[in-house]
Amino acid sequence: MGLRGIEVSFSQPVELTDEEERQLVELMGKVCERYERDHPDRVMWPAGIGFKPTYIPMTREEEEAGRHMEFDEGIFSIECFERENYDFPCTKCGKPQGDHKHCIVDPPAGNCEFSATQ
């Protein structure tokens, strides 16, 4: 099935050094690299590195009302994001995935439905 997250909790507050934070991000980068090897038509990378967001304004009204992003400063968070590998060639037409209609308007691949497999 696969994991969607990893969480570590401490019974008492601990400090992470800059080096330990870097090592955690590096480790998640290795997980992302393996994902890409297993799914060459996709890319994944660590992002959203820092305190865990607890509130993100979703509308202009919220921002105008003075609501700003809020964070839990007791949790170090790394989010990994994933998307199409725009350069991966389609097995049907040979054009890059980024040249298909699910990625852009008026695609060079025309009406071809992108396929990563034969």
Per DSSP, the residues of 6-34 read -----SS-----HHHHHHHHHHHHHHHHH
Residues 61 and 104 in one domain: no
Pair 80, 31: CB distance under 8 Å: yes
Residues 10 and 42 in one domain: yes
Q: Which amino acid is at 95?
A: K
Residues 6 and 40 in one domain: yes
Pair 65, 57: CB distance under 8 Å: no
Residue 1 confidence (pLDDT): 80
Residue 109 confidence (pLDDT): 97
Residues 14 and 52 in one domain: yes
Residues 69 and 112 in one domain: no
Read off the pTM: 0.83
Query: Is the confidence at residue 118, as pLDDT, over 80?
Result: no
What's the domain range around 108?
86-118
Closest CA to 97 of 74, 79, 113, 81: 113
Residues 58 and 1 in one domain: yes
Question: Which residue reads 């660590």 in tokens?
Answer: 46
